[in-house]
Amino acid sequence: MKGFLAGIVVGILLSALTLFAQKLASEEVIQPQPIVENQKVKAVRWVLKPGEGTPLHTHTLDHIAVVVRGSTLRDVEPDGTAKSVEQKTGQVVYVPGTGRTHSFANAGQTTLEIVSIDLK
């Protein structure tokens, strides 16, 4: 019984931490705009105005992110740890599918636009 109750408490704490991390990332959470999905790739377009951010998500697949319009990105871990990263227009970033969970928000003054391509 104690193990069951401990599991419930841990689940509640993890849920609270996840919600807290999303709140730190952004006041408004934006869903990606699907571009294409097939057996080999999944491409989505993120358009984030200043203060907008992504939901908490996990990278299980390798992907490439192409910065269409740059701005300052605030990258937030599930525990609330955050760092700012300057995303420059035209920059291409390879992100390995390591199972990393995070969210990110546009902490800059201009719209951030990124096309993310998951490699299946």
20 vs 46 pLDDT, higher one: 46
Going by pLDDT thresholds of 50, 70 and 90, the confidence category of residue 28 is: confident
Instruction: Report whether 35 contacts 44 (CB < 8 A).
Output: yes
Question: What pLDDT sits at residue 27?
Answer: 57
State yes or no: pLDDT of 68 exceeds 70. Answer: yes
Going by pLDDT thresholds of 50, 70 and 90, the confidence category of residue 22 is: very low
State yes or no: pLDDT of 50 exceeds 50. Answer: yes
State yes or no: pLDDT of 5 exceeds 80. Answer: no
Question: What pLDDT sits at residue 8?
Answer: 53
DSSP 1-65: -HHHHHHHHHHHHHHHHHHHHHHHH-SEE---EEEEE-SSEEEEEEEE-TTEEPPPEEE-S-EEE
63-69 and 112-119 as β-strands: parallel, antiparallel, unpaired? antiparallel
Question: Alpha-carbon distance 32 to 78, whole Å?
Answer: 19
- Within 10 angstroms of residue 98's Cβ, the number of other Cβ atoms is 10
State yes or no: pLDDT of 108 exceeds 60. Answer: yes
Instruction: Give the pLDDT mean for 2-8.
Output: 52
Over the stretch 81-93, which tens digit does the pLDDT of each residue have? 999 999 999 999 9
CATH architecture of 2-119: Sandwich (2.60)
Question: What pLDDT sits at residue 4?
Answer: 53
Phi, psi values for residue 37, rounded to 5°: -145, 130
Residue with tokens 């003054």: 109
Of the candidates 67, 90, 119, 41, the residue with the CA atom closest to the CA atom of residue 104: 67
